[in-house]
């Protein structure tokens, strides 16, 4: 599926497509065989990821990937160039999830460091850490939340220098 996105105020013309990432057997056993990520089409088979991954490992927002058409989607082939972002996922322990006090008091600190997030199922949150963010500061906040029992952490991809 390709969507054309027009921005009248900037006269930009962007083609968005879905790039499918086949997941490993453990995810498939739980009923999730693939994750489709929005991406900006850069060429015939080249795409810039424009999404925060929830399931796929080794991919982050703004990575440039190659993919081949398979019906309405494009199947991921390989990474062409890294975008410098990192991806973390947290599972909130509070049943209120992102609506709870624990998240509402901690998220602004991560957001102030340039992070963005997407929420799934109220308690599961994917966090994008842009390349301009201080990844050490972000990770320190994530670890503090884990140590305080607010969430568990899953690293999807570390794109920042170690």
Query: What pLDDT, on a 0 to 100 scale, did the predictor assign at position 12?
Result: 53
Whether the predicted pLDDT of 3 surpasses 70: no
Query: In 3-state terms, what secondary structure has residue 7?
Result: strand
Find tokens 């494009």 and name the residue.
Answer: 74
Is-contact 96 121, C-beta < 8 A?
no
Is-contact 21 56, C-beta < 8 A?
yes
- 112-132, pLDDT tens digit by residue? 999 999 998 899 999 999 999
Is-contact 48 64, C-beta < 8 A?
yes
**Which domains can be identified in the chain, with CATH numbers?**
2-81 (no CATH), 86-157 (3.30.70)
- Asked whether the whole model's pTM tops 0.85, one would answer yes
Rounded distance, CA 114 to CA 27, Å? 30
């Amino acid at each position: 599926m390709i969507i054309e996105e027009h921005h009248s105020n900037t006269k930009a013309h962007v083609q968005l497509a879905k790039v499918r990432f086949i997941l490993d057997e453990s995810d498939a056993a739980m009923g999730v065989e693939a994750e489709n990520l929005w991406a900006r089409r850069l060429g015939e088979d080249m795409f810039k990821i424009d999404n925060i991954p929830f399931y796929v490992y080794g991919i982050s927002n703004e990575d440039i990937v190659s993919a081949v058409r398979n019906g309405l989607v494009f199947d991921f082939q390989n990474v062409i160039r890294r975008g410098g972002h990192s991806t973390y996922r947290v599972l909130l322990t509070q049943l209120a999830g992102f609506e709870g006090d624990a998240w509402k008091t901690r998220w602004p600190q991560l957001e102030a460091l340039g992070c963005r997030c997407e929420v799934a199922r109220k308690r599961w949150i994917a966090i994008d850490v842009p390349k301009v963010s201080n990844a050490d500061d972000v990770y320190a906040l994530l670890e503090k939340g884990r140590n305080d029992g607010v969430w568990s952490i899953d690293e999807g991809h570390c794109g920042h220098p170690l």
